[in-house]
Structure 1
Amino acid sequence: MEKLEKTLEEWKQMLDPEQYNVCRLKATERPFTGKYNSTKTDGVYHCICCNEALFDSTTKFDSGCGWPSFYAPIEGSAVVEVRDVSHGMIRTEVVCAKCDAHLGHVFPDGPEPTGLRYCINSVCLDLVPREA
């Protein structure tokens, strides 16, 4: 996959302020406020920054954490996991493999078959519904 690289100024011009803060500055949207937290629409979630397919709705589940949760990315190479030691914790950050957008974090408390919970900010995603 070819990397998409832009300057912070280019991202700032392309994204709205919340998207920029979360995707490029690693902020977090408030829990239970994201547009995809409760969405049940069948489709594919794409990166808001580069349109790369990241998660399929068939792997989405209601974790009750306040953010959309998935038990696996659409394919192993769609996202990259990075050690995150910010905020006095050790976590695993999830970023888009194509453009390095911050998406959220992954935790080892999800359902089978993976046992993982990819906790992703709605503002980082664009849901493309599957055609019936």
Structure 2
Amino acid sequence: MSPASDGGSDTSLSREEMYSLLASRWRRYTLYCLFVYTTPVSLATVADTVAEFEHGVPAETIPDERLTVYMRLYHTHVPKLASAGVVDYDQSEDTLSPDTGLAQLEPYLRADALDDLDDHGSWPIER
């Protein structure tokens, strides 16, 4: 477990906390990655996927945006998800895994995914 995570064990999120966590499109995209990829998944892979989702092109074609996404995830979004017990971030490996709080968000994520995917049609880059 990383220093960024409090472990999240037996954590129950309030409705307000859940809505706050899911308010950010980037945090939702990050959490979708935990369902799509085998975990643990590297933060770099998640950042690439978020950048592709945002811009609709392969991440390697937008290096500046790719770096911006990685840095924002690393400094802002992942710590918020980790402190809520939704993800476990292993800083030494630079990987994300689901934590116990993710199960509480899953029904909301499923509903949000339909809206998010309607905006983009599908995952931007087929894996």
TM-score (norm 1): 0.32
More helix by share: 2
Compare relative contact order (CA 8 Å, sep 6+) and give the higher one, 1 or 2: 2
More strand by share: 1
TM-score (norm 2): 0.32
